[in-house]
Amino acid sequence: MTSSALVDWFVREVLPLEAALMHFLQQNWRNPHEIADLRQDVYVQVYDAARKQIPTHTKAFVFQTARNLLIDRVRRDHIVAIEAVPDLTALGTTDDAPGPEQAAIARGEFRRLQAALDKLPPRCREAVVLGRIEGLPGRAIAAHMGISEQAVSVHLANGIRALVNEIYGRDGDREEKP
């Protein structure tokens, strides 16, 4: 299969599942610091598998991959815990129709983006506003803010990560969650 079809499938069908996937991982894995790594591992396995053939039921495939990964981790880490292995039947993951979470994401996305933008540290926010919203190039942002180009790069990169994590539902970062 062509790589652009693969990317297209990944963006269209896999990434919108992220909020649900993160929820699933958080429910079934004790260590919150490992969630981001687990999410990455799921994506890598799904993407690599799809290079050969794109699965027909994306959602079921993603969650089956996640489940297998958690089981492997439990075995590898010799964790003895009855509740450590997630029960998928309760999640209704065999259905590929857009779930309610996807619809919600689309509806509230602008508001959430705006909220995420406001949550950024002030200077980071300023760089993102100048770059993404006002459309200034990096050099002009640096001059406008009176800081180095390197600092602008880091602000922009931090801002991009925060906004994208917001878009896909859950921030898998080291931030403490209630």
Binding site for other proteins (CB under 8 A): 7, 10-11, 15, 36-37, 39-41, 43-44, 47-48, 109-110, 113-114, 117, 121-124, 129, 131-144, 146-158, 160-161, 163-165, 167-168, 172-174
Asked if residue 170 lies in contact with residue 18, where contact means CB atoms within 8 angstroms, the answer is yes
Q: Where are the alpha helices (DSSP H) in the chain?
A: 3-9, 18-28, 35-52, 58-77, 100-119, 122-128, 138-145, 149-167
Smallest distance, other proteins to C-beta of residue 156, A: 4
Nearer to other proteins, 76 or 80 (CB): 76
Amino acid at 32: P
Smallest distance, other proteins to C-beta of residue 152, A: 8
Smallest distance, other proteins to C-beta of residue 143, A: 5
Quick count: other Cβ atoms within 10 Å of Cβ 101?
A: 14
**73 Cα distance to chain centroid:** 20
Smallest distance, other proteins to C-beta of residue 74, A: 19
Tell me the two tokens of residue 159: 């801002």
Nearer to other proteins, 43 or 59 (CB): 43
